[in-house]
Structure 1
């Protein structure tokens, strides 16, 4: 294990909701990019995660692909601006927090839906749209591309290929069910291996229940790539599987419990990066950073 596994940030949507920005269709987290007040709030979310211990910021490019922006009514000539705004917010937060060595990872989500593989478009559409995103990101200050919350092997591979073609460092992360498969039933290990062969230098699972993490990490290990994980921390007991909530949900784990579990996974599986996604607040990251510091000193 790395003596200091890098710590990702927490949930951008969770932070924005705490800042008073509703996460509703069709804009979702991209609503923060529409005006200066929203971008200031987003920068504040990023900076707080850095101050509490994050080494990697995930830029709010999750819903800035050309398909999503077109659906929101953004003119084609203006779409790249949203990508650049998102990356710029993370870069400014890095300066504001005095964290020059933190990495900015540009999020690349499925072009349709993260949890409904049947909506995944055809191959030609995927190649065209992910190449557009990779070209825009290659002209940004992002340090790497995080192809995340992927629900199909074929889109994940295409997104990784598009990034690598542009000379970008690509990491990939999959949505994982409680059975440690992709939502379409595909084998996690096979999907991750295909992405490594396409050029991904790290593999991960995200937005999965914490109980499913150990099995997912077993499947991701030994593929010749760095491994990480960032589970969903929301208490989703009152919701259907993958159901979206426009409001913040209480965390299923306390900061201390999250830190114990996550650092334990890092130790057992030799993880290179750890963190949390939805429901993960700065308090969780702070507890994890303290746990890492204590572990390094022991």
Structure 2
């Protein structure tokens, strides 16, 4: 189905007393919708190519720029955190009339997705977690707010960009060079501090393993040394290693990312009772 079948629009919300205007992309269709939550320094456009893939032809989908990111507006950037993003997701789903859906989240969006699924598991048909935080070791980006402190949010973000541009991982320079255009510096601290706090103290592994629904954990081959991967597999989580990729499979190896997501969701829908 051509990209023209996807529509861009805005969704005004009030989240925790704060005015938010989400920049969204969506498509109507048949079957359960796919909902995408992007990572830190990324936008909804990470997932716009779904409109080109035959495996998803005719399927409805919904993605949006998180508050403080992309083309979305948030009147209180200092309030943006993972709990705030979860409330945003719930409000966005209600505003878009989505009840039950397949969920895909990357990094920051993966953590947001997991907290969303933990609070409303009956609404989730399947959850594809693309390197979303499940353990303290996942804070290699967010923990920089503590490792490289700077009271000036713009200076912190510029130094963050420089470090990631020089990182020896697939797509890191591509990611880094666009971050300053995709995230407001004033939103970074609340996002990063809440990600670290939840990763260190939020029992994320237990929450992920306790979800009563099909779960996939996707990671790039450069991150196949994550210590918890065998534990995930032993507890029924499908592992999807993406070759020629690090933390950003949507940039490094998008065809394989989409293939694995489509196959996972197809099998989830074929399960008895789904």
Coarse TM-score class (shorter-chain normalised):
0.3 to 0.5
- Tell me the TM-score normalised to structure 1 length: 0.38
Question: Which of the pair has the greater relative contact order for Cα pairs under 8 Å at 6+ separation?
Answer: 1
- Tell me the TM-score normalised to structure 2 length: 0.40
